[in-house]
Structure formats: C-alpha cells, structure tokens
Amino acid sequence: MTTTLDETLTLLLVEDDAGDAFLVEELLMQAEAPPRITWVRSLEETKAQLGPQIQCVLVDLSLPDATGLEALEHVLDLAPHAAVLVLTGLRDVHVGVAAVQAGAQDYLVKQDVDARLLARAIRYAMERKRADLAQRRLVEAELTAKENARLENGLLPVPLLRTRELRHATRYLPGSQGQRLAGDFLDTVQTPDGSVHVIVGDVCGHGPDEAALGVALRIAWRTLVLAGQTGDLLLRTLDTLLRAERRAPEIFTTLCMATIAPDLASARMRVAGHPPPVLVRDGVVEVVEGAPSGPPLGIFPDAQWAVLDVPLGERWSMMLYTDGLIEAAVGGELLGVEGLVELVRLHGAIDIDRLIGEVGTLKDDLAAVIVSRGET
C-alpha cells in the first residue's frame, strides 16, 4: 500500500545518524509522489542548505554541533517559512513536546515511525505552518490597519470653519494601486480675522512613509496658519520641514493653498507645482490663471512663488485637488485639466461625486476640497 503526499515537496533532513537517515528516506520513497530530500548531518551543513525552496525540515535534536532546543531555535530562525518536524527518541518525548511549544509544528518518535505516519505528519505539519503564517499575516494586517487608520485621521482633519456662508466638502480616495496610504493631504482653517485658508498637497510616492510626511506637513501648515504665518514665509518653512523629514533627497511635494478674504469675495493663492484650481464664477467655469506660480517644495532651496490674486464675487465655487483626478482615464484617454473643465461645464457645477463617477477607477490617489458661496 503506497502512502500519498498531496504534492511533490522539497524536504531537508537534519540527522547525524546514517541509519536513521536511511530509514526516513526509505519510508518517504514509498509515497505516491516521493519528495525531493536533502540530507545533512549537522547544523553547520543545515545553514548552507536552508533556503526558500525548502518546504519542510525534519530535524533530530541530537546533532554534533547543537543539541536540544538550541538546534531547533537555529532551524526556526534559518527557515521561518518552512514547516519543522522534530525527530526524537523514546526517552526524549518530553523534549518533543517542548519543541512544539518552542515553534515546531509536530514531533515524531523515531521508534514509532512508519511510512503512513510519516507522510501524514508531514502533511499536517505543512497545514499547521500555513495556518500559523496566515494567522501571523492576519495579526500584521490588523496592526497595519490600525496604524493606517491613525495616519488617515491625520490626513483627514476636521476643518476649523466657523462661517455658515460657505459650503465645504472634502474627498479622499485611494487609487487602483491598492495602497490605502499615500502622501495626499488637505486642510481648511478659518483664522480669527475671518480669512479662510485652504490647502491640498501631494507628497510624491505611496506608502506609510509618504503618508506620515503628508501628516507632518499638514499639521505644520495648520500650526503656522494659526500662528499668523502666511505667503512665501509659510512655504519656505514647509520646504525646510520637508527636507528635514523626507527619507530620500528626491522626495518632493506639490501643493495649492488659497486664502479667502474675510468678505469671501476674493482669494490669494500660491500654487507650488500643483494642478490649477477649478473655479465656477457666475456660471463660468475656468481654471486659475498663472498656475502653477512656482516649483514644488523640496527642489530649489531658494524658490519663490508668485501671488495669484483671484476675484470671486458673490456666487462661486472653487475646487482644489490632487492629480489623481486629472490622471484618471475617460474613454481611454487621460482626463487632464481641460477635460476636467469640460466635465464641470457639462454638469453645470462642481459636483465631486459625479466627477468621480464619470472618471471611474482612479489610477492615483485623490484628495479634493470644494468650497462654495451662494448658488453656482
């Protein structure tokens, strides 16, 4: 009667006794799909043979250069993704139990091993290892999700907005790359003089490092605005922070910030290498002329940004956004700024949810702030 293993496995047998090694190999050769076996006699030889191709390790705990749990610990460290089966003698059953407690998937008493028991033990050990790895990935995913949520809370602040004359909306959506976290950030703050300050920014790249940098820049911007710092001095301060906090010198940040006057009838903008804001004024859809007004942060240490003075009037809507919106494909082509303006004209207003519905899947992340006054 042949013994069945579900797949052709690659095994490492760590056994210094030639007779015991021969017995294990003979038993495994009775399987319907005999595994590929590499036999080593010591822990030193084990180090040279262990690699990602090894799916299961059968290890004797009485080796010439390591004994007991010391040998097992070395094997577990060297092969974290392999199932480990411990071979022990009748007098060392308690050692086998301790080995399982230390991280081995199972143990076998050499005197009790037959072909069927050995094949079943290997199969079960493989399944236990898969379950252990899956559980570990689940725990890691839960920890990552908690960290992501903490960072996302930093990227998506509660606006400090007192006036009821403005309608305010934000959107933050991940792109199709699957990364929940990116460097896009946004914020809105109204200062005691009644001015409304808005920012949307984009740290190049994706991942927790970029997200953390985006959080740092957003919090710094809010702090500086509340402290009364504005204009080029504010941007140069953010540029200094970016250079100090970024993990690589090629990391840069684009952003658009607007200060809406206390009477809500005009705005002053600086656009640092960022897509131009879209405006709807008295039914006319356009982009802010002169944008960008200067380079991104983190490129030129002596950069300057021109001031863009924008009259708004009594009825208007303004959208600041990251390039995830204009880099989306519509009809097989990138939307672009002109395409975005045409869509807003077609809709008759800045309706961010409808815009997102029109462009479909976003290739890159999107952060957007829409501020409106009156009916537009």
Q: What is the DSSP string of 190-255?
A: E-TTS-EEEEEEEEEEESHHHHHHHHHHHHHHHHHHHTT--HHHHHHHHHHHHHHH-SSTT--EEE
Evaluate if residue 41 carries a pLDDT over 80. Answer: yes
Q: Which of 333, 373, 375, 372 is nearest to 169 (CA)?
A: 372
Q: Which of 257, 253, 258 is nearest to 212 (CA)?
A: 253
Q: Which residues pair with 87 in a beta bridge?
A: 60, 108
| Residue ranges in 62-114 assigned as alpha helix (H) | 69-78, 93-102
Evaluate if residue 1 carries a pLDDT over 50. Answer: no
Q: How many CA atoms lie within 13 A of 176 on its CB side?
A: 9
d(CA 44, CA 116): 31
User: What is the rounded average pLDDT for all residues in the chain?
Assistant: 86
Per-residue pLDDT of 280-319, as tens digits, reads: 998 899 999 888 899 999 999 889 999 999 999 999 999 9
| Residue ranges in 227-367 assigned as alpha helix (H) | 231-245, 336-347, 352-359
φ/ψ (deg, to 5) at 169: -145, 150
- The stretch 232-247 carries a mean pLDDT of 95
Domains and CATH numbers, the chain: 10-136 (3.40.50.2300), 156-373 (3.60.40.10)
- Give the rounded distance of the alpha carbon of 64 from its chain centre: 45
* pTM reported for the whole predicted model: 0.63
